[in-house]
Amino acid sequence: MTDEPVGSRLLSLDAFRGLTIAGMLLVNNPGSWAHLYPPLAHAEWHGWTPTDLIFPFFLFIVGISLTLSFGRRLTEGRGATRADLVRKVVVRGAVIFALGMILSGFPFYRLATIRIMGVLQRIGVVYVATGLVFLFAGVRAQRRIALGLLLGYWLALLLVPVPGYGAGILERQGNLAQYIDQQLLGAHRWLADWDPEGLLSTLPAIATCLLGVECGRWIRGGRPPRDTALGLFVVGNLAMLAGVVWGIWFPINKNLWTSSYALFTGGMACYLFGLLYWIVDARGHRAWSRFFVIYGRNAILVFVASGLLARTLALVKVSGPEGVAISLQAWLHRTLLASWLPLYPASLAYAVGNVLFWYAVLRELDRRGIYLKV
């Protein structure tokens, strides 16, 4: 999601993006959803697991990338006007949203129930919103907008009454985000009664991306690498602490994308990126990061392709035990792994195998210089 040439980008940012996309592949492709180790599953409601960090890390990275790319174009005389960048933001966001719709409906595309929002759809919407804020608002205004989104979302869920439930409900049923999605999205949701990537909860997700913008601005500040990394460590820890404290009154919750969740995960992303920046770019220890860099350079391609492949494997039926039809995915898992491994290790091994399979594909594309740019 950047037009920057591969060679001009921060290697640590590619590594961070790749680490995130590899984590996504790991948690999205178990051999069996019934046999997941707890860290590889989302928190059921309040609270968080490592899996709940992946999506906000994506949005944080989008904010960093946007700042580095557009900041250079606006300040270094690279021939791009503000109007050019606005067009790029809108078109790119629309393409990302469209890719999400392709994944949502694949392969049947039932228009009456196709899911409108989703991971890529939210990324597209957040990218457009953040890009426009970056292009038209000053630094102070950007910070105020981020803070306003976090505070406004908290107050809305706390104070706006939901018909039949009242105000301040933070359970799955009866909260304001769920009610708005029910009214506006109807059957076009992930589940009949819920969508974790709904409309109202996209607002604090924009704040997550704006935190990434702030991180990108710090990277571009011209400080010595040691000071840059130290600043990221300090800010990241403070944001995590603030998220935990805020969580006392507004629990950390990925499904609702609560303001405490946005702050906590944004802080963790800042800290982790600071660590990668210090190791990879500042200290020059780059060889170990190549596995993740290869993922990071083709993140959108592997996101879409892996999703299409996973759905295809789930839809294709083959003859299983006792002649019962099972999915090709289940057959592969049982035949290759569950036939000789315990259930939980077999499920994890299938997910790891998926990560390694896509690494082999992406490494070949990288060798050929093939990158999907959106």
Q: Is 112 helix (H, G, I), strand (E, B) or coil?
A: coil
Q: Residue 44: which pLDDT band, with cuts at 50, 70 and 90? A: very high
Query: At 315, is the secondary structure helix, strand, or coil?
Result: helix
pLDDT at 36: 93
Whether residue 129 is predicted with pLDDT greater than 50 in this model: the reply is yes
When pLDDT is cut at 50, 70 and 90, the band that residue 2 belongs to is very low
Q: Which of 86-90, 92-96, 205-209, 322-326 has the lowest mean pLDDT?
A: 322-326
Q: Is there a single domain that holds both residue 55 and residue 172?
A: yes
The CA radius of gyration of the chain, in Å to the nearest whole number, is 21
276/340 same-domain check: no
Cα 230 from Cα 237, distance rounded (Å)? 11
Q: Answer yes or no: do 86 and 206 share one domain.
A: yes
pLDDT confidence of residue 72: 73
Residues 23 and 47 in one domain: no
Task: Report how many domains make up the chain.
Answer: 2
Q: Write down the pLDDT at residue 9.
A: 65
User: β-strands 317-319, 325-327: how paired?
Assistant: antiparallel
pLDDT at residue 61, rounded to an integer: 96
Query: Do residues 269 and 123 both lie within one domain?
Result: yes
Same domain for 337 and 354?
A: yes
272 and 334 co-located in one domain: no
Domain boundary among 238, 258, 284: 284
**Residue 368 phi, psi (nearest 5):** -90, -5
The residue from 263, 284, 305 where one domain ends is 284
Do 240 and 312 fall into the same domain?
Answer: no
Residues 204 and 225 in one domain: yes
- What distance in Å separates the CA atoms of residue 124 and residue 130, rounded to the nearest whole number? 10
CA proximity to 156, closest of 201, 209, 100: 201
Instruction: Give, as one character, the DSSP assignment of residue 318.
Output: E
**Does 115 share its domain with 230?**
yes
| Length of the chain measured in residues | 374
Q: Which range (141-145, 237-241, 290-294, 318-322) has the least confidence?
A: 318-322
306-351 pLDDT, tens digit per residue, is 999 999 999 999 887 777 889 999 999 999 999 899 999 999 999 9
Lowest mean pLDDT among 70-79, 111-120, 162-171, 284-293: 70-79
Token pair belonging to 128: 């457009």
Is residue 202 over pLDDT 90?
A: yes
Residue 242 shares a structural domain with residue 344: no
pLDDT score at 76: 60
Q: For residue 263, what are the domain limits? A: 43-284
pLDDT-based confidence at 35, cuts 50/70/90?
very high
Per-residue burial over 336-356, b = 16 or more CB atoms within 10 Å of its CB, e = otherwise: ebbeeeeebebbbbbbebbbe
Q: 202 and 133, same structural domain?
A: yes
Residue 200 CA neighbour count, 13 Å, CB half: 22
| End-of-domain residue from the set 227, 252, 284 | 284
Say if residue 193 is exposed, middle or buried (CB neighbours under 10 Å; 0-12, 13-18, 19+).
exposed
Model confidence band, residue 5 (pLDDT cutoffs 50, 70, 90): very low
Backbone angles phi, psi at 47, to 5 degrees: 100, -175
Within 10 Å of residue 326's Cβ, how many Cβ atoms?
Answer: 14
Which stretches of 29-175 are DSSP H helices?
54-75, 82-105, 119-136, 139-159
pLDDT tens, position by position, 252-270: 999 999 999 999 999 999 9
